[in-house]
Structure formats: structure tokens, C-alpha cells
Amino acid sequence: MTRSFRYYDLILGAFVAVLLCSNLIGPAKVVMLDLPLLGPTQFGAGNLFFPLSYIFGDILTEVYGYALARRVIWAGFGALLFATVMTWVILALPASPNEPFSAQLQPALETCFGGGWRIALGSIVAFCVGDFLNSYVLAKMKVRMGGRHPWARFIGSTVVGQGVDSLIFYPLAFLGLWSPATLLAVMTVNWLFKVLVEAVMTPVTTIVCAKLKQAEGVDAYDEHTDFNPFSLKR
């Protein structure tokens, strides 16, 4: 009999919500902040919230194990793929001439959501590969460390997962459109920012994991887990 958990579905829903919002709403706006040491820095607004998906991934793997985290990653992949296809279909449909704001609405929607196939492909592939690597590294580090030093695996897995995410997304989306120097600078700044968010949130992540382990009565160790990313076995 497969065991059920009280909070697993809630975390799954939160993960998918953060993923969709950060990929659909966030990329529409580039912000500039005057940061200490870095000075005026531009980045996509979605980067403020996208790291939260990795934090949820850390919690899922740390508490429930790689196999259950894998199912959530595939749920996020399916939701992101559906949202992308739905966006393309809606933008391609002809606007009604009877709509009073159709002349302004269509260009606005295309500006906000019509990021192009390269950005969509980059987002989906980078998310999938980066999240699986994040979960895999965390699970392996937990076994190797015997469950000690959770902060090290939270940050370490994010360094790897977010690094690969950036290495995949930015070249797929912008290679040939941006200069190599700009591409490298944006990749580096965004990677460091996402790792910084993980580091700042690590105390909260650690507390949430401890509370969940106590409430669910589980603390998974992936000692004999099949790490095949294409399996949906629990």
C-alpha cells in the first residue's frame, strides 16, 4: 500500500504555482537595482521568485526523497509545457473586432507573453535538467553526509542545479542575439543571485524540513533509489 502524506500535495501545488508565475509573468519585465558592490544591475524580474522553486525542490527531496520529488518535477514540466502551448494558441487566434480594446490588447499580450520559441524552449529544458540535477545532488549528499549539515547540501545542490540551468537557458534563448560578453555577464549575475537567495533562505528551509519530517513521520534517505529521471515510480 502506497503511503500518503498530509502536506506533499500542498508543496506540489506551491512548486507549480511559483514555476508558472516566474516563467510567464517574470520575464516580461527587466528591472534595474543599484546593488551594493555591483552598482546598477539589470535582471529579469522573474529571477526574484524563480529560486523559490528550487527551495521547494530541496524540501521535497530532503523530506520525501528523490522519487517523490521527481514526480513533482514532471508535474511542473507538464504545467510549463501546457502553459507555453496555451499561450502560443491564444496569441495566434484572431482578436474580435468587436472588442473595444482589441487594437491595444493584442500587442500588449504579445509583448508580455510572446517571448518566442527559443525562450520557451530554453525555459523548459533548463528547468527540467536543472531541477533533476538539484534533486539528485541533494539526495546523494544527504546519504554521503549521513543526514548532517543540511545547509551544505541545500546550497551545494543549488550551485549545481542553478548553474546548469543558467548554462542551458541563456545560450538557448539569447546566443547570437546578445554579445558573448553580455551573455556571460548575465549568466554569472543571475546564477550568483539565485545561489544567494538559497543561502539567505537556508535557515528557513532547514526549519521547514525539520517541521515537515516531524509532522509527516518521514526522513527519506535515497540509499537504494532508482535515479532514472524518466521513471514515475514512488
Structural domains present in the chain: 8-216 (1.10.1760)
CB-based contact 73:131 (threshold 8 Å) = yes
CB-based contact 103:154 (threshold 8 Å) = no
Over 80: is that where the pLDDT of 17 sits? yes
Q: How far apart are CA 206 and CA 151, in angstroms?
A: 7
Over 60: is that where the pLDDT of 114 sits? yes
User: Which pLDDT score is estimated for 99?
Assistant: 78
Q: How many CA atoms lie less than 13 Å away from 8 in the CB half-sphere?
A: 21
94 sits in the region (left: phi over 0; alpha: psi -120 to 50; else beta) called: beta
User: Which pLDDT score is estimated for 39?
Assistant: 79
For residue 203, give every residue at least 6 positions away whose Cβ sits within 8 Å of its Cβ, in sequence order, or none: none
Lowest mean pLDDT among 41-50, 153-162, 169-178: 41-50
User: Which pLDDT score is estimated for 77?
Assistant: 94
What is residue 182's DSSP assignment? Answer: H
User: Which pLDDT score is estimated for 220?
Assistant: 95
- For 199-216, the pLDDT digits (tens) are 999 999 999 999 999 999
- For 51-81, the pLDDT digits (tens) are 899 999 999 999 999 999 999 999 999 999 9
pTM higher than 0.85 for the full model? yes
User: Which pLDDT score is estimated for 1?
Assistant: 43
Q: How far apart are CA 231 and CA 221, in angstroms?
A: 18
- For 160-172, the pLDDT digits (tens) are 999 999 999 989 9
Strands (E), the chain: 30-35, 39-44
List Cα–Cα distances, 87 to 11, 12, 101, 110, 233, in angstroms: 25, 23, 19, 9, 31
What is residue 177's DSSP assignment? Answer: T
Lowest mean pLDDT among 109-118, 176-185, 214-223: 109-118
Q: How far apart are CA 147 and CA 149, in angstroms?
A: 7
List Cα–Cα distances, 23 to 55, 79, 170, 213, in angstroms: 16, 11, 14, 30
Mean pLDDT value across the chain: 89
Q: Is 33 helix (H, G, I), strand (E, B) or coil?
A: strand
Lowest mean pLDDT among 23-37, 94-108, 168-182, 190-204: 23-37
**Mean pLDDT of the region 115-126:** 85
